[in-house]
């Protein structure tokens, strides 16, 4: 998982930042595997942080789909499952993400709403986005 995060966020996106940020030990890690080859291979990943660890809300971050699996819909399935897991663990809570701005439309399609102006994090434009708690009006 850490190698995949380094491959995508550090090497592919040319971004020098401290990926191992101290949250991994207490995070929930959701992993998607590709099993059509002889050996299972990591295809997608995200981590979920408990409310109060980084933000007041539960948060989803470090979302990635490895290059051979992009365009397959796996990223959407992964995010949908991440939301389901957050809803089960913390019913009634909104969910926060710090999204790369280039992916804002993708997260909007999952019912997240932009809640901040664009800002630069680790040299990449980001926006904060929230998914309202279940039962809350958007």
Burial level of 59, CB count in 10 A (0-12/13-18/19+)? buried
| Number of Cα atoms under 13 Å in the Cβ half of residue 66 | 17
pLDDT tens per residue across span 61-84: 889 888 888 888 888 999 999 999
Partners of 120 in the β-ladder: 125
The ranges assigned to domains in the chain are 2-131
Q: What is the pTM of this model?
A: 0.82
DSSP characters over 83-107: HHHHHHHSTT--EEEEEEGGGHHHH
pLDDT tens per residue across span 23-35: 877 889 898 888 7
The CATH number corresponding to 2-131 among 3.40.640.10, 3.40.630.30, 3.40.50.300, 3.20.20.70 equals 3.40.630.30
What distance lies between CA 124 and its chain's CA centroid?
15
Please give the Cα distance from 26 to 28 (Å, whole number). 7
* pLDDT value for 7: 59
């Amino acid at each position: 998982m850490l190698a995949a995060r380094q491959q995508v966020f550090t090497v592919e996106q040319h971004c020098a930042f401290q990926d191992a940020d101290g949250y991994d030990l207490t995070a929930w890690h959701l992993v998607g595997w590709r099993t059509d080859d002889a050996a299972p291979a990591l295809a997608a990943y995200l981590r979920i942080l408990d409310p109060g660890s980084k933000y007041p809300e539960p948060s989803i971050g470090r979302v990635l789909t490895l290059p051979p699996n992009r365009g397959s819909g796996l990223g959407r399935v992964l995010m949908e499952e991440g939301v389901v897991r957050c809803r089960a663990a913390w019913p009634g809570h909104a969910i926060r993400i710090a999204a790369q701005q280039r992916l804002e439309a993708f997260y909007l399609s999952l019912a997240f709403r932009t809640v901040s102006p664009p800002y630069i994090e680790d040299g990449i434009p980001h926006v904060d986005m929230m998914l309202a708690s279940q039962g809350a009006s958007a």
